[in-house]
Structure 1
Amino acid sequence: MSTNIDFQKALHAATEAAHQGAAILMEYFNHRDELVIEHKSRNDLVSQADKDAEKAIIAKLTQLCPEFAIIAEESQLEQGKQPESSLATWYIDPLDGTTNFLHGIPHFAVSIGLVAHKGTVLSAGMSPLTEDTPIVAVVLDPNRQELFSAYYFGGCQLNGQAIRCNKTATLGDALLGTGLPFRDFSFEDEYDPMLKAAIHQTRGIRRNGAAALDLAWVACGRFDAYWEMRLAPWDVAAGTLLVREAGGQVQDLYKQHPWPITGNVIATNRLLFDDFFAMLKPSLKTLP
């Protein structure tokens, strides 16, 4: 692949799409008693708000950046059905924090991330990518009116102002974010000892219920570190780049993929990463 990617064009498209999706979410949020809710499986809910927001987001991205493939949560678009010539793929979560949304908790977000494929040349003079890489990210929190955005080697911003991960250097001083098992309980025997270790070795843990915002909060220094297991790629694609561009580290918890596409994610500022991973590592088992 040799065609370059216009980061500003893609970032503009993601921002416009996120605002359109968020406007739909907030309209529904203010009339939640009228929502039709479906149960995809236990504790896996979807409402008309998710679906309508996703349609609006896809329409805007298709209009502004038709050259990219799309993977989206509710429409279950599959990468195999996308154009083979695409240089990158959008990963869309129209409503990250659905349970919060449905219970009236004002903590949810629109998450849109663009991941460039291995072999893509991002700009003139650069070597082709050696692995799939998140390159554009937008996470929009409509309740706080906070827009987190980033592009590859372009830094991370909150409402247009540059942000960085904080400089906490020890686990004892660290505030963590996490997500408890709530739908897939197959990894409880791995997660439970991690949680116990974190309770005893850190300043505290928060479980806020929106992975994209957890990662955004690492990027702006509200959390020192975050980990979660068995999420979906659209939950973490945008947040991965936010943290990286804010000076932090994000990896696949099992170190099997170049970014946490399987939803096993560890994110910290750079000072904490080694100690945090060392705390979690003894509980990890080989994936099936």
Structure 2
Amino acid sequence: MPSFSFVATANAVFSTGAKPIFVDILKENYTIDPTDLRKKITKKSKAVIPVHLYGNVAYINQISELAKKHNLHIIEDAAQSLGSTLRGKHTGTFTDIGCYSLYPAKVMTSGEGGFITTNSKKLREKLLMIRNHGMVTGYDTRVFGLNLRLPEISAAIAKIQIKKLPKFLYQRRKNAKIFSELISDISIKIPSERKNEKVNWYLYTIAIKNRNLVMKKLNKKGIGASAYYTMPIHKTPFYKTKIKLATTEWAASSVLSIPIHPKVTSKNLQFIAKNLRQAL
């Protein structure tokens, strides 16, 4: 799994008694690097967790080839990529299981919680038990489980939100296009889509020098620019290791996400672009 992600990905692995092995990312789109992944696979490896970070689609074909060769499961972390597609297929549906987040900051929300997709009936039945204390019909615990059910009120919110999702994604795409055009002449790394990829634009993330200084200047102007993730998982006190992940560490000190959510107007984008130019 990549170290350049929210720590929940690693915590999920650790909670099962397994050990997360951290892999570097691609500078191109901040997703797991298949070349480094190949180097990290050992006889002890059980699964690969590609993270579709910022809504960018991981190089799932190369990852799948490696997984098949080494008999590994793939668990897609699609927490940030609801609505992102590659060749018309949604992230989280390329493999046996995909995990999504409905946290308030995501492209749609249920207040909290998330959901899982799977094409395996057997896995679905096991997941239904795990989320309900391992029970099927009540007091008949068959596997270890916890109370992981999404509250009904949250599910009700999600049912309404998902109807609005196409509109949300359209506005994000529109804003991303406008902002890219506004800053196209600036010599910085701006996000883009590869062939046959359609990103949900959860986060519009640029890479710049003097990131912290630029972010501070933008924040002073009331612009909600943020940096995710300034401390990669392998650098945190709990998971700290001595491994070197060069691109991960570069990204941690360089990335800056610019607000392009549906409530951001064209006028807002012009204001942000103007202040970004002045801050650089």
Q: TM over 0.5: same fold? A: no
TM-score calculated relative to the size of structure 1: 0.23
**More strand per residue:** 1
